[in-house]
Amino acid sequence: MRATLYSTVFTVLVVVKATLFAAPPAVTKGRTFDGHPDLSGIWQTMSTANWDLQDHQAAPGPFFQLGAVGAIPSGQGVVEGGEIPYKPEAMKQKQENFKNRWKDDPEVKCYMGGIPRSNYMPYPFQILQTPRTILMDYEYASSNRVINMEKKPLEASVDTWMGTANGHWEGDTLVVDNVGFNDESWFDRAGDFHSDQLHVVERFTLADADHMNYEATIEDPQVFTRPWKISLTLYRHVEKNAQLTEFKCVPFAEELLYGDVRKKTK
């Protein structure tokens, strides 16, 4: 007991001395001061997962006036095994969502993207990593989330769009456990959806300096028969002057949301 106390005091003194008088600690390239992989930077997917998590072929958009500009690109799916294991009633809901996607998709209304969708929308997001918290700041709709990295987990005391996130490191992989979601966000523009029982476990692993593997295991017993997984690559923005710009989309959605109660001019 006493020995422990002495050694603690000694260690603290040594650390204090070292911190006050020594040069900053050496840091390995690609790692932070606490030794973890440095995920900080601006990231974006090149996949078309935001159009549809599953395989999809090219299709016309909703407005012929936009021609090719408004068309939907084809793309390979990101769901492991290809299928999303909907319960039968939930599958009907998904199909209903798909039919009404141009007015019911939360993205059309400029609502927050939720998790995991925010990570593969066609906008960059920036990671700022500290030992106690990791910030993920999304360009789309100025949404953001802070992942708690402290040992004591943050409790999800209210349901939110972006959820409550607790993270930890498994080797060189950042694992983020997300709960506390509302039932309003979608997974893509094809109507894939979830309930407020959603539980998402994400895994961020650097493949090399500029590529990151992203996986999300999705669990929601109200909607799916079993957990399922998506997996895609995030690419780093390497331009010297790269920075997140601003996409506040509310003004682009107001006519759609409130046009029915605008005063009609004769």
Partner 1 sequence: MKAQLFLASSLAVGGLAFAQNTNTPKTAWGDPDLQGVYTTDDLNGVPLARPAQYGTRRYLTEQEFAERAKNVNSEKSTIDTGIRPTTGFWALVKDAGVDGAAAPAQWIEYAKHASRLTSLVVDPPDGRIPALTPEGEKRRAAQPNYYNMRPASWEDLSSYDRCITRGVTGSFFPSIYGNGSEILQMPGMVAIRYEMIHETRLIPLDGRPHASAGLRSYMGDPRGHFEGNTLVVETTNFIGGKVDVGGVPYSEDLKLVERFTRVAPDTIDYQVTITDPKTFTAPWTVAFPIRQEPGYRIFEYACHEGNHAMHNRLSAARAEERHEAAKAAQPDQK
Asked if 20 is part of the footprint of partner 1 (rule: CB under 8 A), the reply reads: yes
Q: Is residue 91 a contact point for partner 1 (CB under 8 A)? A: no
Write the single-letter amino acid at 245: T
Helix (H) / strand (E) containing 237: none
> Distance between CA atoms of 10 and 13, rounded to whole angstroms?
5
By CB under 8 A, tell whether 250 contacts partner 1. yes
What CA–CA distance (Å, rounded) separates 115 from 216?
A: 9
Nearer to partner 1, 115 or 232 (CB): 115
Cβ pair 195, 220 in contact under 8 A: yes
Interface residue with partner 1, options 6, 10, 19, 66 (CB under 8 A): 19
Q: Are 45 and 234 in contact (CB under 8 A)?
A: yes
Terminal-to-terminal C-alpha distance of the chain? 86
Of 10, 15, 66, 67, the residue at the interface with partner 1 (CB under 8 A) is: 15
* 137 contacts partner 1 (rule: CB under 8 A): yes
- Report yes or no: 158 and 180 within 8 Å, Cβ to Cβ: yes
Q: Shortest Cβ distance from residue 199 to partner 1 (Å)?
A: 18
Q: Would you count residue 187 as binding partner 1 (CB under 8 A)?
A: no
d(CA 92, CA 96): 6
**Pattern 23-52, partner 1, x by CB under 8 A:** -xx-x----xxx-----x------------
Cβ distance to partner 1 smaller for residue 48 or 126: 126
Q: Are 253 and 235 in contact (CB under 8 A)?
A: no
Q: Please give the residue ranges that form the binding site for partner 1 (CB under 8 A).
A: 8, 11-12, 15-16, 19-20, 24-25, 27, 32-34, 40, 106, 110-112, 126, 128-133, 135, 137, 141-144, 146, 151, 158, 160-162, 184, 241, 243-246, 248, 250-251, 254, 257-258, 261-263
